Structure 1
Amino acid sequence: MATKARSSPAAVSVSLNDLENGNVSLQQLEEAFGPESLGIIIVSDLPPAFVELRRSLLSYASYLANLPAHELSKVELPATRYNVGWSCGKETLANGRYDTDKGSYYVQPIHDAALEDKAKRLYPNVPEFTTPNVWPDESVLPGFEETFETLCRLIVDVAAVVARNCDRYGVAKLQDYQDGTLEKIVRGSACTKARLLHYFPSKPKDEPKDGRPDSAMAIDDDWCATHRDLGALTGLTSNMFVDEAAHPPHPHADGTLPLLPELDNHPDPKTGLWIKDRSGQTTQVNIPRDCLAFQTGEALEILTRGKFKAVPHFVRGSRHPKAGSIARNTLAVFTQPNLWEMVDETRDFAALGQFVMDKTY
């Protein structure tokens, strides 16, 4: 008898209104985050400001990455292992090479002076999480800081609603789970880290001979290597694809930075985010422009004692011959515990963060 092929899991989609009113079932949460899931949920019906904030910040990503080298060097902080400000070519991929295919801008967008002072006092040797943000001069990227932090605060607010529903699941399914555990982490942490990403246009690579994205992972995860996120919930915007040859990301003569035209689709439909489930199958996840997605990270897997799983994921570059001028911009917001909060019986978040970064940088 022939064995029936296992179907791939799908991303679960819910509305923010249903999350706010507790109308998302425990089964839906398990389908989104549980052991057989993709570890991701897509949230629709966001606050009206989201769409314009997303397009504005993702346009900034192209302008930022195309600044002159001397401007970018002003916002590089080697002492933080390039985890504050601009970073390019500093992260080590699984094959040992440095990642030069994308540039990142790291910010801690949630501010609380008392929590920040406590982190510096208790963890003087963890500059990746205790160093203040740096920003390009306002004359270089006008409005960048305000737009960045405003969008991140909106994403954290939505993440907190997702977290409240995860807490409902924890209370129902886990012995001695304290209600509010995850929501308190999301709302009460000054350690949340945001990463604005610009994937540089690249030369197309050969398609794997059998055409299956999971058959050649070393080729397919060229834009972002296969990894699991560190924190609790990661908020993700959709891709913004920009043809930088047709619309060079340089300021106008008067210094203004117009919003960049966004391609409706990438010429290579397989370009973008892929998730690898526990069986080894890979599934592409497309996030609508007016939605956010939230992925589980390692800290959440530990906090839920494995009930919710952090899954490996990667970003696939283009194989299309006409895609050589197309960049990909996106934003990831990693909601993370404060450094002193325990993620298991022996480790606080600072220890977990250092362990992961030691492998990466």
Structure 2
Amino acid sequence: MADLRAGSPPPEVITVSLHDLQAGTIPLSTLEKAFGPTSLGIILVRDLPPNYLSLRKTLLSYSSYLANLPPATLAEVEKPEAKYSTGWSCGKETLANGRYDTLKGSYYAQPIHDVELEAKARSLYPECVEMTSANVWPPEEVLPGFERVFEELCRLIVDTAALVARNCDRYGVAKLEGYADGTLEKIVRTSVATKARLLHYFPPPPTAAAAEEEATRPDSALALEDDWCATHLDLGALTGLTSQMFIDEDLHPPFPPDGKKATDPITGLLLPLPELDNHPDPHTGLWIKSRTGLTTQIHIPRDCLAFQTGQTLELLTLGKFKAVPHFVRGAKPGQGGRIARNTLAVFTQPNLWDVVDGEGRHFAELAGAILSAGL
């Protein structure tokens, strides 16, 4: 972890074992260091289940396979009626400067399934199509096993997030008057509003104009750039994140010129793409703005998951745990070949009817207010 500006060192990034989460032995002081007012608002979890690494590598490789499908094929899994918040989305989101975001593509799906709760959500909130639309998947012959691997990895992340939540509930019961035990764990385990987002950050075009613009920027501004994903707060409770995967799509095109797909003869899945050890531009990736204004780069090890705090968690804990502002910085022009960045985020969010603050607001009201304000 590093900050590009001089000054006091950033807060520590806390790492815990999955075994200690399961046993409920994480000290409350450790949770405060991870999520409290002076923290970075993120925790790393190690000692994950044995299948995690293969699931991560397969699904993040599929992110490149997906994004490089023909436009007509991708159009078949777009859902404009869901405001592009289900299925494939690229170039539909407007950035702060008014431009459409074409630097990344996303595949959205809801990984928690409950027929009765899904029907309830559609009945009570027919206008909230972003969180009530049914999932859509590419045909099996196009991306074999994509749906299965996507949901299996998301389920593992949700189960791990639930253990983080259980320990946060221990904190709430001990530190917050009137906090109901199990509040956060129930949200994480059962909410059908939880949303997963598989991300593909396209290789930036090495245009002469972009290179010239970059050369004029002072080094002190580097930590403030958020060109791949603007600075924002997550809306939900806990956001689960895999480590990022960098793929040189010049050296390892997802679909070779002969058009032949390389598949595993046993699983039938597309073979994982070769992964770079790191990006030629060391400043590329996830950055967090600490409570004191320091901008800190976060490196998630491949064998770990990260969980960062959202606005719902801040409300549920009466501000004891703070939502974390963060952004993704792209590479400087000319740094490396056509390198893409792939990652997966799982946003655990309350059901739309769940009360999230002392004013009695339901999550649907909170989400509507925040999304309409563009925050």
Opposite residue 149 of structure 2, the aligned amino acid is: T
Paired residues, what number? 355
1:193-249 superposed Cα distances (whole Å, 9 cap, x missing partner):
00000000003552674423566x3xx100111000010000000000000000001
* SS class of match (1:194): strand
Q: 1:136 aligns with which of 119, 138, 149?
A: 138
Q: Deviations over 1:47-89 (max 9, x none)?
A: 0010000000000000000110001111111121110001111
The answer to whether the 8 Å contact 1:271/1:315 transfers is yes
Q: Which moved more, 1:76-85 or 1:142-151?
A: 76-85
CA contact (8 A) 1:230 1:299 kept: yes
**Aligned position for 1:244:** 249
Aligned: 1:350 with 2:352: no
Q: Give the percent of matched residue pairs that are identical in Structure 1 and Structure 2.
A: 65
Q: Structure 1 residue 320: deviation in Å?
A: 5.6
**Counterpart residue number, 1:293:** 306
Q: 1:225 maps to which residue?
A: 230
Partner residue, 1:276: 289
- How does the TM-score come out when normalised to structure 1? 0.94
State the Cα deviation string for residues 144-194 of structure 1 (Å, max 9, x = none).
Answer: 000000000000000000000101111111111111110011112111100
Residues 207 and 13 (structure 1 numbering): CA distance in 2 closer, same or farther, change over 3 Å?
A: farther
Residue 267 of structure 2 corresponds to which residue in structure 1?
Answer: none
2:3 — aligned with what? Answer: none
In 2: Cα distance, 1:35 partner to 1:207 partner: 36
Aligned position for 1:81: 83
Paired residues of 1:214 and 1:281 also in contact (CA < 8 A): no
Q: Deviations over 1:279-321 (max 9, x none)?
A: 2210000000010000001111111111000011000001162
Q: Secondary structure at the match of 1:212?
A: helix
Residue 46 of structure 1: aligned partner: 48
Alignment-derived partner of residue 56 in structure 1:
58
Give the Cα–Cα distance (whole angstroms) in 1 for the partners of residues 279 and 18 of structure 2.
Answer: 28
Which residue in the other structure is 2:122 paired with?
A: 120
Counterparts of 1:320 and 1:57 in 2: how far apart (Å)?
A: 27
Residue type at the aligned position of 1:113? V
> Equivalences for 1:1-361 in 2 at 5 Å?
5-203=7-205, 205=211, 206=214, 209-212=217-220, 217=224, 220-250=225-255, 253=260, 256=263, 257-319=270-332, 321-344=334-357, 345-360=359-374
My pick for the range that moved more, 291-300 or 95-104, is 95-104
Runs of 4+ aligned structure 1 residues displaced above 6 Å come to: none
1:181 maps to amino acid: T
Aligned-pair distance for 1:324? Answer: 4.0
**Which sections of structure 1, spanning at least 5 residues, go unmatched?**
none
| Structure 2, unpaired ranges of 5+ | 1-5, 264-269
